[in-house]
Amino acid sequence: MSTRISSSLKWLIDKRARLAGEIERTAKVAKRAAALVEELRDLERTLAAIDESLKLHEVQIEVDYIKPVRSIYRRMGLPHGELTRSILCCLKAANGQMVSTTQITAYVTRRSKEIDLGGGDLSDLRNCVRMRLKNLSYQGLVKSHRPRGGPHEGYWTLGTAAARFVKYKTPTPGAA
């Protein structure tokens, strides 16, 4: 025989679960914020060092007149090399079958659970995957099977030079 749980107890249990989830989410955001603050401090130290070295140069330059230039850099919250590893593992798991850019992006998203789109959306991640695939194609690590011309999605397989980079087994791209 089961014991009936009252609605007020159910509400308390639900409230506790939601608060615990908020605490976990906030802790992750705080950890990411702390990493960004540390990155900001490193950038400021580097800028100060460059300013000091400019002062030592025989041609004096007023550093206050140098306007900041915004770099085009998207943080995806992935560790260095993780995007490439994910792409190569996805293509290896396909066993020689062609995999679309969209399927590879979905695989990267599933594999990297704590992905941070940096204020962007999934199309930004897809663009990063697409650009990385293009560079890997130039290196011979992946092979493009995209028809020339037109707005067709690209399909990819592992290139001949990729065998030395992919060393471990992963689930198939269509799973999960």
- Measured between alpha carbons, how far is 46 from 127 in angstroms, rounded to an integer? 30
Query: pLDDT digits over 84-93, tens only?
Result: 888 998 998 8
Residue with tokens 């550093």: 63
What is the separation of C-alpha 4 from the centre of its chain, rounded to a whole number of angstroms?
46
> Within 10 Å of residue 85's Cβ, how many Cβ atoms?
19
Neighbours of 162 (CB within 10 A): 19
The DSSP output letter for 148 is S
Q: What residue segments make up the domains of the chain, in order of their start?
A: 1-69, 82-162
Between CA 133 and CA 88 the distance in angstroms is 9
105 vs 73, residue with greater confidence: 105
**What pLDDT shows up at residue 176?**
43
pTM over 0.85: no
Q: Is the pLDDT of residue 72 over 90?
A: no
Instruction: Work out the pLDDT band at 174, boundaries 50, 70, 90.
Output: low
Chain segment 31-42, per-residue pLDDT in tens:
888 888 998 999
Fold of the domain spanning 82-162: Arc Repressor Mutant, subunit A (1.10.10)
What are 104's two structure tokens? 């590879």
User: What's the confidence (pLDDT) of residue 23?
Assistant: 93
